[in-house]
Amino acid sequence: MPGSLNDKRVAILVTNGFEQAELTGPKQALEQAGAKVEIVSASEGQVKGWNHDKPADDFKVDLTFKAANIDQYDAVVLPGGVQNSDTIRIDPDAQNLVKGFEAAGKPIAVICHGGWLLVSSGLVKGKTMTSYKTLKDDLVNAGANWVDQEVVKDGTWISSRQPDDIPAFNRELISALSA
Q: What is the mean pLDDT of each run of 10 residues along the chain (179 residues)?
A: 82 98 98 97 98 96 97 98 97 98 98 98 98 98 98 98 98 95
**Residue 34: beta bridge partners?**
none
Shortest CA distance to 117 belongs to which of 89, 150, 98, 142?
A: 89
Query: What pTM value is reported for the model?
Result: 0.97
Domain residue spans of the chain: 9-178
Catalytic residue among 8, 89, 106, 113: 113
What pLDDT was estimated at residue 179? 85
Domain 9-178: give its CATH architecture: 3-Layer(aba) Sandwich (3.40)
Task: Considering the candidates 5, 39, 94, 112, report the single residue annotated as catalytic.
Answer: 112
User: pLDDT value at position 156?
Assistant: 98
pLDDT at 104: 98
Q: State yes or no: is 52 an active-site residue.
A: no
pLDDT of residue 138: 98
**113 assigned to active site:** yes
